[in-house]
């Protein structure tokens, strides 16, 4: 019979395994492999005119279903808040003008390309990858379709081709990696943007630019560069005229959500220390209990 | 087939591993027929589930589920996979108590628990396949070039795959035992009988030497992925309702797996005994049940300390659907059964014992369901996810199939102890 | 003591000599081109830091500060009339046709607020305003992150006001697509109160008292001209200036009588004086009274020009239906609209079978076809 003492042992070892998980909250903010000159995009929502040309350019570039250019002049889509989906990597939403002004605020939504992306950390086969140069890219060939990336993304960006029976893909903005990484060209949406509300360039320069704009036009902007700190930073930055919560950006800490899981994973499984320790303990337990049993049997006869 | 079995099983040798415990297939040793009206209903449900499964593989997730971009995971993950893994914990907890702690008495419960685990994990794997958009790529997980060590899902996937293999290996002696001395191939193949028998004997011997390695490995692997299953949702701190989200989610998953493992052993033993019209093994179940409250209390304490530590406890007292689910999970699934198990008198009553075990099982299923479905609140959601009828049908069908296969196995293989064993006890 | 104070003096002197030269050296770089940008005048030397952020700008990396958008680099004053009337913007005409930009009109608008500097944030000391493309590169991406490329510069310039004004960002307002068939018409740039202008509410009727004795009252129903006669603002208000409405305090060129007469007579030129000059105010236009022909019920939604041609080229159409409805064929015309629904026997007949020689003003009679009048009402159908 298992004594109470033995049970404390069981729970003790278990707790020990899991306790490893809680230790070591090493900060993870930017990914260590990131290139210091990595790309980014800065969206200045106060310059956006809501022409939706970026949506068209994106669809055109990425082979997504789209109508002709003029059909994107339809502003009735602003009646409801839209999200990127399997057929559109990016959408523009319209928010009411701030008090005392006439111009509505148009906000382009797309993958922010986190510096330490939860989706990449979650991906079971490495189909999602963070390029050292910024973009978070997707390899449909590797993907097994578990949709853990959709669960992990704090901004709810990746979309899934649910309607596709056999070859569904995870759909999200790639920062036009085939242009940016191979040709050094700006993403299609940036190139298209008429008022240059989108600027493509090295992230650190964009950060400087953003801060300069905030400093030079304090009345025009809310003093925060969205993407500088949130979830450990994102490659895509944004400045706007109001607090980020008012343009439906979730309230998130300045630490990647994947820090928790990665700390746990590495805490337990680094060099297989945890499992090996447990294996050792269990072996000793098994040996001693069988010895004890033999002794008992010998005594009994 | 049944007739030949009956003759074959007339006299089985003693199980070489379980010492003087003797297990028997039910064919020829039980008055209960394989098919009863209840079993036929279950068989129909299982067939429907299988059809749904096949249809899903060709029609895609959009056609068969209510999943969307906000709710990428539904009951196939929350119940079939997460709860399935938790309920199959009986395998490793019983292996620990009976083999590692060398507790003679519980050996009779090991084989049924092992069988449940093996079937359970097989179906977890199938549930994963049916939920994968590109299920035909599942082999990618095994390719070192695509390994992704940061992913908790990778850890779960690898562990489950290896553990499933370990379970099958642990189960092999039962197969050997069933066929050693009874290999009887028809016609010309009959010439191979002697050779195969020899092979089985070698296999059996080898296995008995290395089995302790696999038993320990099984426990280690189980601890690893039971907890990693909790790590899965720890990646969504902003989306999981604070009553459930905690960085120690893996610890809570592991602790609840311990408790539910033993409860599941009790639960299924009583259920099987009732179904096969055999005496209930109260002489082992009652003492086994004595350990459960301790595990429940540890789990409960961890949960309470965590809630207080994170200042999330006030949410318990907000009147909403989620707090209600939480209360049910805690009160029905942990507190009440803990008290029931603590009572010496109720522990000796099969009805109470069964009820308490069922409550723990229910509580853990609800917990997994809450963590993966109810508690998951994505930003920009357009409405709560509710499973499609096809999702429910597949889940029900799979559970039915598990019951059916369990029944078939215990009828064919020596899993359950011979009845005289129980009567003598 | 003496020795050290001499050294101190020498040192001080050295500083006094060297430092100004050091400072001057930053500006008077012999290699630096002596252009007007850096040396606007002999007296005035632009301080480096007002344009450059770094100590040693090079042509490759000029490290320019953000151009101050207003005032700082704009010299001189320009009259509206100095600028071109129309500017064709065609530097980026790949997707769209060149934009026709009504410069004069915009200059006039701008003149009411900030002047040229509203848009032109830089001019040379001489007052010459360089074209945008001289600094803002037409290349697809911005050369410097601090400075928008030409496309961005244009759009920000235009959209900044246009969004405030009309809340619209319809590209077609300025652009016509290059592709055939889906282009939008370029708006009339002289029409300053047309589509882009927020809705103007005008009194429906103006009543003028004149010195013309035989008919002192001139009633002008603005509402009729806009709503019923389908005139565009620009048809009468061509050449009006913004300040006419927006700067009421500003003395404006008084319109002479002749001006009014010219405007009205551009359409009503054939009329005699009494058409406008009456003793009492005139009621609003009513087709039945004026023409003796009721528009009701079938012609109320027909635009005036459909029958009468353009206001300037007014014609009186014939009262014969066929003068307009010449294309009707058997089966197409619903005879019921005349109030008489044809019976089954008559509905398939050719129009000319009853209306001889297609003369619809003469009422057909049964005897034209039938030997005797047909019962019951001598009608080929039912009158509603």
Domain ranges of chain B: 67-386
Number of residues written out for chain A: 301
For B263, the token pair is 């409860």
Residue B372 confidence class, pLDDT cut points 50, 70, 90: very high
Count of Cβ atoms closer than 10 Å to residue C148 Cβ: 24
Q: What percent of chain B has pLDDT over 70?
A: 93
Give the whole-angstrom CA distance, residue A136 versus residue A121.
11
Mean pLDDT of C9-16: 55
Closest residue in chain A to residue B70, using alpha carbons only: A156
Instruction: Report the number of secondary-structure helices (H) and strands (E) in chain B.
Output: 17, 2
* Nearest-by-Cβ selection for C146 from A190, A193, A209: A209
Which of B44-58, B312-326, C146-160 is predicted least confidently?
A: C146-160
A209/C182 CB distance under 8 A: no
Give the whole-angstrom CA distance, residue B18 versus residue B57.
42
A199/C142 CB distance under 8 A: yes
Give the whole-angstrom CA distance, residue B271 versus residue B425.
19
CB-CB neighbors (< 8 A) of B239 in chain A: 151, 154
CA distances from B64 to A162, B133, B393, C137 (A): 10, 12, 10, 54
* Nearest-by-Cβ selection for A102 from C149, C167, C177: C167
Residue C39 confidence class, pLDDT cut points 50, 70, 90: low
- The DSSP symbol for C101 reads E
Q: Residue C120: its pLDDT value, please? A: 84
Count of Cβ atoms closer than 10 Å to residue A161 Cβ: 20
Task: Decide if C80-173 and C205-285 have a common fold.
Answer: yes
* Nearest-by-Cβ selection for A252 from B132, B228, B238: B238
Whether C146 and chain A come into contact, CB under 8 Å, resolves to yes
Whether C369 and chain A come into contact, CB under 8 Å, resolves to no
Which of B58-72, B372-386, C175-189 is predicted least confidently?
A: C175-189
**Residue C23 pLDDT > 50:** no
Q: Residue B307: its pLDDT value, please? A: 94
The model's pTM is 0.75
Q: Can chain C be said to touch chain B, i.e. do they have 3 or more Cβ pairs within 8 angstroms? A: no
Taking all residues of chain B, what is their mean pLDDT, rounded to a whole number?
87
Give the whole-angstrom CA distance, residue A75 versus residue B138.
43
Q: Which of A53, A74, A195 to mutate to test the interface with C (most CBs of C within 10 A)?
A: A195
Q: Residue B324: its pLDDT value, please? A: 94
CB of B396 closer than 8 Å to CB of B389: no
pLDDT tens sequence across C318-355: 766 767 776 666 667 777 777 778 888 787 787 778 87
CB-CB neighbors (< 8 A) of B104 in chain A: 293
Residues forming a β-bridge with A199: A42
Give the whole-angstrom CA distance, residue B98 versus residue B113.
11
Residue A42: closest CA among A243, A242, A181, A187: A187
Residues forming a β-bridge with A88: A85
A51/C171 CB distance under 8 A: yes
B101/A11 CB distance under 8 A: no
Q: Which fold has domain B67-386?
A: Formate dehydrogenase/DMSO reductase fold (1.20.1630)
pLDDT tens sequence across C73-86: 666 677 777 777 67
Residue A136's SS3 state is strand
Which of B104-113, B254-263, B363-372, C329-338 is predicted least confidently?
A: C329-338
Residues forming a β-bridge with C340: C383
Closest residue in chain B to residue A127, using alpha carbons only: B146
For C202, the token pair is 């005008």
Which of B293-307, B376-390, C189-203 is predicted least confidently?
A: C189-203
Mean pLDDT of B99-117: 87
B154/A124 CB distance under 8 A: yes
Give the whole-angstrom CA distance, residue B286 versus residue B293.
12
Q: What percent of chain C has pLDDT over 70?
A: 60
Write down the domain spans for chain C: 1-29, 32-65, 80-173, 205-285, 335-383
Which of B192-201, C103-112, C304-313 is predicted least confidently?
A: C304-313
A279/B69 CB distance under 8 A: no
CB of C335 closer than 8 Å to CB of C381: yes
Whether C151 and chain A come into contact, CB under 8 Å, resolves to yes
Angle at which helix A4-22 crosses helix B282-309, to 10 degrees, equals 30
CB-CB neighbors (< 8 A) of B287 in chain A: 1
Angle CA C294–C299–C300, to nearest 5 = 85
Taking all residues of chain C, what is their mean pLDDT, rounded to a whole number?
71
Architecture of domain A39-118+150-260: 2-Layer Sandwich (3.30)
Q: Residue A13: its pLDDT value, please? A: 44
Closest residue in chain C to residue A207, using alpha carbons only: C145
Helix (H) or strand (E) holding A108: strand A105-109
CB-CB neighbors (< 8 A) of B131 in chain A: 146
Q: Residue C167: its pLDDT value, please? A: 57
Per-residue 3-state assignment (H helix, E strand, C coil) for A71-107: HHHCHHHHHCCCCCECCECCEEEEECCCCCCCCCEEE
* Nearest-by-Cβ selection for C145 from A68, A70, A201: A201
**Interface size, chain A vs chain B, as Cβ–Cβ contacts under 8 Å:** 241
pLDDT tens sequence across A185-221: 899 999 889 888 999 999 999 999 999 999 988 888 9
Chains in touch with A (3+ beta-carbon pairs under 8 Å) read B, C
Give the whole-angstrom CA distance, residue C35 versus residue C42.
11
CB of B99 closer than 8 Å to CB of B409: no
Look up the CATH number of domain C205-285.
3.90.10
For A66, the token pair is 């789209």
Angle CA B28–B31–B36, to nearest 5 = 110
* Nearest-by-Cβ selection for A186 from C66, C141, C155: C141
Helix (H) or strand (E) holding A210: helix A203-216
Burial group, residue A294, by CB count within 10 angstroms (0-12, 13-18, 19+): exposed
**Residue B424 pLDDT > 60:** no
Residue C376 confidence class, pLDDT cut points 50, 70, 90: low
Closest residue in chain B to residue A169, using alpha carbons only: B133
Closest residue in chain C to residue A74, using alpha carbons only: C170
Residue C255 confidence class, pLDDT cut points 50, 70, 90: low
* Nearest-by-Cβ selection for A51 from C141, C169, C182: C169
Angle at which helix B389-412 crosses helix B107-131, to 10 degrees, equals 150
Residues forming a β-bridge with A93: A107
Higher pLDDT, B204 or B47: B47
- The DSSP symbol for C318 reads P
- The DSSP symbol for C297 reads T
Q: Which residues of chain A have pLDDT under 70?
A: 1-32, 100, 102, 301
Residue B235: closest CA among B344, B123, B153, B128: B153
Burial group, residue B378, by CB count within 10 angstroms (0-12, 13-18, 19+): buried
CB of B391 closer than 8 Å to CB of B127: no
Q: What is the ipTM of this complex?
A: 0.88
Q: Residue B422: its pLDDT value, please? A: 57
Write down the domain spans for chain A: 39-118+150-260
Residues forming a β-bridge with C99: C89
Chains in touch with C (3+ beta-carbon pairs under 8 Å) read A
A103/C170 CB distance under 8 A: no
Which of A219-233, B9-23, B59-73, C88-102 is predicted least confidently?
A: B9-23
Mean pLDDT of B144-153: 89
Mean pLDDT of C219-247: 78
Which of A83-97, B287-301, B362-376, C279-293 is predicted least confidently?
A: C279-293
Q: Which fold has domain C80-173?
A: Cytochrome C3 (3.90.10)
Helix (H) or strand (E) holding A129: strand A128-130
CA distance B159 to chain A (A): 11
Residues forming a β-bridge with A114: A234
Higher pLDDT, B57 or C172: B57
Give the whole-angstrom CA distance, residue A26 versus residue A263.
8
Residue B262 confidence class, pLDDT cut points 50, 70, 90: very high
């Amino acid at each position: 019979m298992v004594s109470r003492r033995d049970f404390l042992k069981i729970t003790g070892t278990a707790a020990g395994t899991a306790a490893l998980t809680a230790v070591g909250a090493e900060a993870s903010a930017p990914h260590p492999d990131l290139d210091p000159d990595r790309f980014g995009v800065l969206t200045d929502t106060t310059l956006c005119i809501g022409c939706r040309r970026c949506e068209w350019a994106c669809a055109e570039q990425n082979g997504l279903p789209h109508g002709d250019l003029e059909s994107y002049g339809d502003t009735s889509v602003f009646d409801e808040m839209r999200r990127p989906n399997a057929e559109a990597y990016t959408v523009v939403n319209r928010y009411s003008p701030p008090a005392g002004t006439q111009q509505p605020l148009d906000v382009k939504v797309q993958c922010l390309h986190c510096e330490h992306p939860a989706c990449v950390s979650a991906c079971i086969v490495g189909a999602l990858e963070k390029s050292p140069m910024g973009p978070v890219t997707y390899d449909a060939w590797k993907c097994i379709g578990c949709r853990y990336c959709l669960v992990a993304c704090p901004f709810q960006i990746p979309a899934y081709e649910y309607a596709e029976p056999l070859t569904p893909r995870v759909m999200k903005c790639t920062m036009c990696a085939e242009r940016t990484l191979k040709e050094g060209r700006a993403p299609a949406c940036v190139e298209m943007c008429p008022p240059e509300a989108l600027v493509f360039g090295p992230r650190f320069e964009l950060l400087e630019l953003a801060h300069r704009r905030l400093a030079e036009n304090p009345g025009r902007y809310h003093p925060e560069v969205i993407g500088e700190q949130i979830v450990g930073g994102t490659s895509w930055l944004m400045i706007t005229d109001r607090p980020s919560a008012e343009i439906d950006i979730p309230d998130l800490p300045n630490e990647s959500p994947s820090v928790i899981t990665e700390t746990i994973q590495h805490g337990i499984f680094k060099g297989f220390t945890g499992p090996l320790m447990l294996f050792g303990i269990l072996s000793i337990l098994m040996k001693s209990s069988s010895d004890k049993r033999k002794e008992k049997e010998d005594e009994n006869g | 087939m049944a007739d030949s079995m009956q003759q074959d099983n007339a006299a089985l040798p003693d199980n070489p591993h379980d010492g003087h415990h003797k297990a028997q297939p039910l064919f020829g040793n039980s008055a209960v027929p394989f098919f009863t009206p209840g079993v036929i209903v279950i068989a129909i449900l299982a067939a429907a589930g299988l059809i749904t499964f096949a249809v899903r593989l060709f029609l895609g997730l959009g056609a068969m589920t209510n999943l969307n971009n906000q709710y990428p995971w539904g009951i196939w993950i929350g119940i079939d996979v997460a709860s399935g893994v938790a309920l199959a914990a009986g395998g490793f907890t019983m292996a620990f108590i009976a083999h590692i702690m060398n507790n003679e008495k519980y050996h009779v419960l090991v084989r049924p628990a092992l069988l449940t685990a093996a079937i359970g994990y097989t179906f977890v794997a199938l549930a994963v396949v049916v939920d994968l958009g590109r299920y035909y790529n599942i082999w990618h997980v095994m390719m070192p070039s695509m390994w992704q060590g940061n992913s908790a899902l990778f850890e779960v996937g690898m562990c489950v795959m290896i553990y499933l293999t370990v379970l099958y290996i642990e189960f092999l002696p039962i197969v050997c035992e069933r066929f050693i001395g009874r290999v009887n191939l028809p016609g010309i193949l009959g010439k191979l009988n002697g050779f195969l028998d020899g092979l089985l004997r070698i296999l059996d011997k080898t296995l008995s030497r290395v089995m302790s390695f696999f038993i320990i490995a099984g426990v280690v692997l189980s601890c690893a992925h039971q907890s990693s299953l909790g790590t899965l949702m720890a990646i969504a701190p902003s989306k999981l309702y604070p009553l459930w989200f905690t960085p120690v989610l893996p610890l809570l998953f592991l602790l609840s797996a311990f408790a539910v493992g033993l409860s599941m052993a009790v639960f299924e033993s009583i259920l099987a005994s009732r179904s096969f019209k055999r005496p209930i093994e109260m002489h082992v179940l009652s003492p086994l049940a004595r350990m459960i409250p301790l595990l429940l209390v540890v789990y409960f304490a961890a949960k309470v300390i965590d809630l207080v530590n994170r200042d999330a406890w006030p949410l318990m007292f907000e009147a909403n659907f989620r707090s209600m689910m939480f209360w049910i999970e805690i009160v029905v699934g942990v507190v009440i059964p803990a008290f029931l198990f603590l009572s010496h008198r109720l522990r000796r009553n099969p009805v109470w014992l069964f009820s308490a075990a069922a409550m723990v099982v229910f509580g853990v299923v609800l917990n997994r369901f809450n963590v993966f479905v109810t508690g998951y609140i994505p930003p920009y959601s357009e409405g709560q996810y509710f499973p499609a009828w096809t999702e429910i049908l597949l889940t029900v069908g799979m559970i039915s199939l598990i019951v059916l296969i369990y029944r078939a196995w215990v009828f064919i293989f020596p899993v359950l102890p011979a009845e005289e064993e129980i009567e003598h006890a | 003591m003496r020795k050290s104070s001499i050294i101190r003096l020498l040192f001080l002197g050295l500083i006094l000599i060297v430092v100004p030269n050091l400072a001057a050296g930053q500006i008077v770089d012999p290699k630096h081109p002596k252009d007007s940008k850096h040396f606007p005048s002999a007296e005035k030397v632009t301080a480096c830091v007002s344009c450059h952020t770094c100590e040693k700008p090079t042509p490759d990396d000029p490290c320019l500060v953000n151009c101050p958008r207003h005032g700082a680099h704009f010299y001189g004053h320009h009259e509206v009339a100095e600028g071109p009337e129309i500017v064709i913007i065609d530097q980026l005409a790949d997707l769209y046709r060149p934009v026709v930009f009504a410069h004069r009109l915009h200059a006039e608008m701008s003149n009411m607020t900030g002047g040229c500097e509203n848009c032109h944030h830089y001019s040379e000391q001489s007052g010459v305003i360089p074209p945008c493309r001289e600094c803002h590169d037409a290349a697809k991406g911005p050369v410097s992150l601090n400075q928008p490329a030409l496309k961005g510069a244009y759009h920000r310039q235009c959209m900044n006001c246009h969004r405030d004004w009309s809340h619209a960002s319809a590209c077609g307002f300025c652009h016509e697509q290059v592709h055939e068939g889906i282009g939008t018409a370029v708006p009339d740039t002289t029409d300053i109160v047309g589509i882009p202008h927020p809705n103007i509410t005008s009194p429906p009727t103006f009543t003028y008292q004149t010195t013309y004795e035989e008919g002192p009252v001139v009633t002008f129903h603005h509402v009729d001209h806009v709503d019923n006669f389908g005139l565009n603002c620009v048809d009468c208000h061509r050449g009006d200036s913004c300040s006419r409405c927006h700067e009421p305090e500003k003395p404006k060129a008084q319109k002479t009588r002749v001006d009014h007469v010219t405007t009205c007579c551009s359409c009503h030129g054939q009329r005699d004086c009494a058409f406008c000059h009456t003793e009492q105010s005139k009621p609003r236009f009513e087709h039945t009274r004026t023409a003796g022909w009721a528009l009701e019920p079938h012609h109320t939604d027909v635009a005036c020009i459909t029958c009468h041609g353009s206001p300037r080229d007014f014609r009186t159409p014939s009262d014969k239906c066929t003068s307009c409805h010449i294309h009707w064929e058997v089966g197409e015309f619903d005879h019921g609209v005349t109030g008489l629904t044809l019976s089954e026997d008559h509905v398939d007949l050719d129009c000319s079978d009853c209306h001889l020689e297609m003369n619809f003003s003469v009422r057909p009679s049964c005897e034209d076809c039938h030997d005797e009048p047909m019962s019951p009402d001598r009608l080929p159908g039912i009158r509603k």
